[in-house]
Amino acid sequence: MQPYRERLAKLEALLEEENLDAILVTRSPNVFYFTGYRGAGFLVLARNNGFALLVPPLEYLNALDSVKENDVDDKVEVVGYQPYGLPEDLVLAPKQKVLQKSLVDSIIEIIGEEKRVGSDLTNLTLYNELVKKLKLIDIDKKIAHMRMIKDPWEIERMETAVAIAEEALQAAIDSLDYGVSEQEIAAIIEYSFRVMGADDHSFPPIVAFGENTVYPHASPSKRRRLEPGMPVLIDLGAIYKGYCSDMTRTLVLDEGPEGFRDTAEAVLEAVEEAIDLAAPGVKTGELDAKAREVLRKHGLAYYFNHSLGHGVGIEVHEEPRVSYGSDTVLEPGIVITIEPGVYIPGKYGVRIEEMILVTKKGAKRLTRFPTRLWL
- Three-class SS state of 367: coil
Choose which of 9, 13, 58, 375 interacts with a second copy (CB under 8 A). 58
Choose among 108, 116, 123, 97: nearest CA to 14: 116
For 35: left if phi > 0, alpha if psi spans -120 to 50, otherwise beta; the answer is alpha
197 contributes a contact to a second copy by CB under 8 A: yes
For a second copy, the binding residues in 131-160 under the rule CB under 8 A are none
| CA separation for the pair 6, 15 (Å, rounded) | 14
292 contributes a contact to a second copy by CB under 8 A: yes
Containing 60, the helix (H) or strand (E) segment is helix 60-69
Choose which of 302, 329, 368, 372 interacts with a second copy (CB under 8 A). 302
Choose among 259, 323, 261: nearest CA to 291: 323
User: Under a CB-based contact definition with an 8 Å cutoff, are residues 260 and 252 in contact?
Assistant: yes
Single out the segment in contact with a second copy by CB under 8 A; choices: 15-23, 199-207, 244-252, 259-267: 199-207
Choose which of 145, 327, 345, 368 interacts with a second copy (CB under 8 A). 345
3-state secondary structure 288-304: HHHHHHHHHHCCCHHHC
Choose which of 2, 13, 84, 327 interacts with a second copy (CB under 8 A). 84
Choose which of 222, 297, 368, 372 interacts with a second copy (CB under 8 A). 222
Single out the segment in contact with a second copy by CB under 8 A; choices: 42-50, 80-88, 104-112, 329-337: 80-88
Single out the segment in contact with a second copy by CB under 8 A; choices: 45-53, 58-66, 105-113, 274-282: 58-66
Kindly state the DSSP code that residue 235 receives in the 8-state scheme: E
Give the sheet arrangement for strand 42-46, strand by strand. 98-99, 76-81, 50-55, 42-46, 22-25, 116-119, 135-138
Q: Tell me whether residue 127 or residue 369 sits nearer to a second copy (CB atom).
A: 127
Quote the least distance from Cβ 203 to a second copy, whole Å: 9
Stated length of the chain: 375
301 contributes a contact to a second copy by CB under 8 A: yes
Q: Tell me whether residue 19 or residue 125 sits nearer to a second copy (CB atom).
A: 125
User: Under a CB-based contact definition with an 8 Å cutoff, are residues 220 and 206 in contact?
Assistant: yes
| CA separation for the pair 50, 39 (Å, rounded) | 21
| CA separation for the pair 160, 143 (Å, rounded) | 24
Single out the segment in contact with a second copy by CB under 8 A; choices: 89-97, 103-111, 165-173, 252-260: 89-97
104 contributes a contact to a second copy by CB under 8 A: no
Quote the least distance from Cβ 362 to a second copy, whole Å: 26
How many residues line the site for a second copy (CB under 8 A)?
A: 57
Instruction: Tell me the one-letter amino acid at 90.
Output: L
| CA separation for the pair 224, 293 (Å, rounded) | 34
224 contributes a contact to a second copy by CB under 8 A: no
For a second copy, the binding residues in 225-284 under the rule CB under 8 A are none
332 contributes a contact to a second copy by CB under 8 A: no
Q: Residue numbers of the site for a second copy (CB under 8 A)? A: 38-39, 56-62, 84-86, 89-93, 121-125, 127, 183-184, 186-188, 190-191, 193-195, 197, 199-200, 204, 214-217, 219-220, 222, 292, 296, 301-302, 304-307, 323-325, 343, 345
